[in-house]
Homo-oligomer: A and B are copies of this chain.
Amino acid sequence: MLASTVIPAKDADVGSVGRTVISVDAMGGDRGPAAVVAGCARFARSVDGIGFILHGPKDELERLVSRRKPLSGLCRIRHSDRTVTMDAKPSHVMRNGKNTSMWSAIDSVRNGEAEVCVSCGNTGALMAISMMRLRKLDGINRPAIACLWPRRDKEGFNIMLDVGADIRADEDDLLQFALMGTSYARNGLDLARPRVGLLNVGTEEHKGRAELKSANDLIAAAAPAGDFEYIGFIEGSDIPSAHVDVIVTDGFTGNIALKTAEGTAEQIREFLKSAFAATPLSRIAALIAYTSLNRLSKRIDPRRVNGGVFLGLNGTVVKSHGGADAKGTEAAVKLAFDLARSRFSQRIAARVASATIARQDAVKGQPGNGTTQ
């Protein structure tokens, strides 16, 4: 499953050996499969060596693909006529979701046909099926969803995890999030020595919950061997800071922070719009300032950073936003392609394995003091 994925030569539909293949769940998004196929086509125009396996109703997908020239010869279609709805309960989908496009898309990663899966469907169901079909990596207790967060003072992103795979995390989970986030920063953002911060209600060492104080010690102790820099506790206002690359938190807190930031950005966009619509003069100013406002709106456009990545499984899954349009899907597919190209799944597995061995050695070597090594 972890071998580099190539399309068998006999499948003339998808193209030559050596392509990086992305498995795409075309269903379940608010805008339907047309937006998903259009997003794949946008990205296919800009790269060589990509192939897609699209999952959904065969006739509809064939019609959509045939209209997109950049996709010609790059897509294989896997028929499924069932879709996981946005309100489906994960437990129900685990029992009854077998013939859905989401299940089928994840199975393409499971059986080695594709390197990474992309879906804009129901997050809870996607995580549940991913856990069941791909299984957790050896040494990982709790998988996590990592998101990209626009950085404050330059064009770039920070990574935050977990933003909602689970609602809790103990100190060992938080350490694993630090290790997985570091690996994502290396392979997804090309950072040699990522800086890791732990989200808390203050930066002083005595603040916060007990598990955060323990995690603070564990992550600090793991930094030298893990080749990352640990900067200690950070606060909510530091999430977009340029002084940190990877922000570690539990899935409850991460989800609240992410949605609060989205709500705030949306609110300010609305305020800005109404400020410029208020008077004739301000409307003229808005016309003149069109390019500037456009530049701003690009920087805070959530579509540019679309793609939560599920970490800690045998295979990588990119969760695209439920409301993603073609541009949003393009961003998610680009992220999936970059991670597949860097052989991210294999690297993160190796990283977690070596940390687990180091931890076990430390426990063996210093029996009384093992858990904080």
Instruction: List residues of A whose CB falls within 8 A of some B CB.
Output: 87, 89, 150, 152-153, 164, 167-168, 199, 201, 204, 206-209, 235-240, 251-253, 255-268, 270-272, 275-276, 278-279, 281-282, 284-286, 288-289, 291-293, 295-296, 299-300
Whether A236 contacts B252 by the Cβ 8 Å rule is no
| Closest chain B residue, CB of each to CB of A287 | B285
What is the minimal beta-carbon distance from A164 to any residue of chain B, in angstroms? 6
**Alpha-carbon distance A167/B298, docked complex (angstroms):** 37
**14 A-B pairs with C-beta separation under 8 A:** A150-B267, A236-B256, A236-B260, A239-B263, A240-B264, A256-B257, A257-B260, A261-B261, A261-B264, A275-B295, A281-B288, A285-B288, A285-B292, A288-B288
- Contact check: which of B167, B259, B264, B284 meets A208 at CB < 8 Å? B167
Whether B268 contacts A265 by the Cβ 8 Å rule is yes
- Contact check: which of B237, B252, B295 meets A260 at CB < 8 Å? B237
| Closest chain B residue, CB of each to CB of A297 | B275
**Alpha-carbon distance A275/B298, docked complex (angstroms):** 10
- Contact check: which of B263, B266, B270, B275 meets A292 at CB < 8 Å? B275
| Closest chain B residue, CB of each to CB of A87 | B204
Known contacts A201-B164, A272-B296, A295-B278; is-contact A235 B253 (Cβ 8 Å): no
Query: Which residues does chain B contribute within 8 Å of A289, judged by CB atoms?
Result: 276, 282, 285-286, 288-289
**Alpha-carbon distance A255/B203, docked complex (angstroms):** 13
Whether A278 contacts B292 by the Cβ 8 Å rule is yes
Q: How many copies does the complex hold?
A: 2
Whether B260 contacts A275 by the Cβ 8 Å rule is no
- Contact check: which of B263, B270, B296 meets A271 at CB < 8 Å? B296
Known contacts A201-B256, A261-B261, A264-B261; is-contact A288 B284 (Cβ 8 Å): yes
Whether B251 contacts A201 by the Cβ 8 Å rule is yes
**Alpha-carbon distance A204/B123, docked complex (angstroms):** 14
| Known A236-B255, A275-B293; 14 more pairs at CB < 8 Å | A89-B206, A150-B267, A153-B270, A167-B201, A209-B252, A237-B259, A237-B262, A239-B260, A240-B264, A256-B256, A264-B265, A268-B268, A285-B292, A288-B288
What is the minimal beta-carbon distance from A128 to any residue of chain B, in angstroms? 13
Residue among A279, A285, A293 having the largest count of chain B Cβ atoms under 10 Å: A285
- Contact check: which of B256, B284, B285 meets A199 at CB < 8 Å? B256
Query: Which residues does chain B contribute within 8 Å of A288, judged by CB atoms?
Result: 281, 284-285, 288-289
**Alpha-carbon distance A164/B206, docked complex (angstroms):** 15
What is the minimal beta-carbon distance from A196 to any residue of chain B, in angstroms? 17
Query: Which residues does chain B contribute within 8 Å of A164, judged by CB atoms?
Result: 201
**Alpha-carbon distance A276/B152, docked complex (angstroms):** 16
What is the minimal beta-carbon distance from A195 to any residue of chain B, in angstroms? 17
| Closest chain B residue, CB of each to CB of A286 | B289
Known contacts A237-B260, A260-B261; is-contact A253 B252 (Cβ 8 Å): yes
Known contacts A201-B164, A240-B264; is-contact A282 B271 (Cβ 8 Å): no
Query: Which residues does chain B contribute within 8 Å of A236, judged by CB atoms?
Result: 255-263
Whether A201 contacts B252 by the Cβ 8 Å rule is yes
Query: Which residues does chain B contribute within 8 Å of A282, judged by CB atoms?
Result: 289, 291-292
Query: Which residues does chain B contribute within 8 Å of A267, judged by CB atoms?
Result: 150, 152, 240
What is the minimal beta-carbon distance from A144 to any residue of chain B, in angstroms? 14
Query: Which residues does chain B contribute within 8 Å of A264, judged by CB atoms?
Result: 240, 260-261, 264-265, 268
Query: Which residues does chain B contribute within 8 Å of A167, judged by CB atoms?
Result: 201, 207-209
| Closest chain B residue, CB of each to CB of A123 | B202
| Closest chain B residue, CB of each to CB of A241 | B263
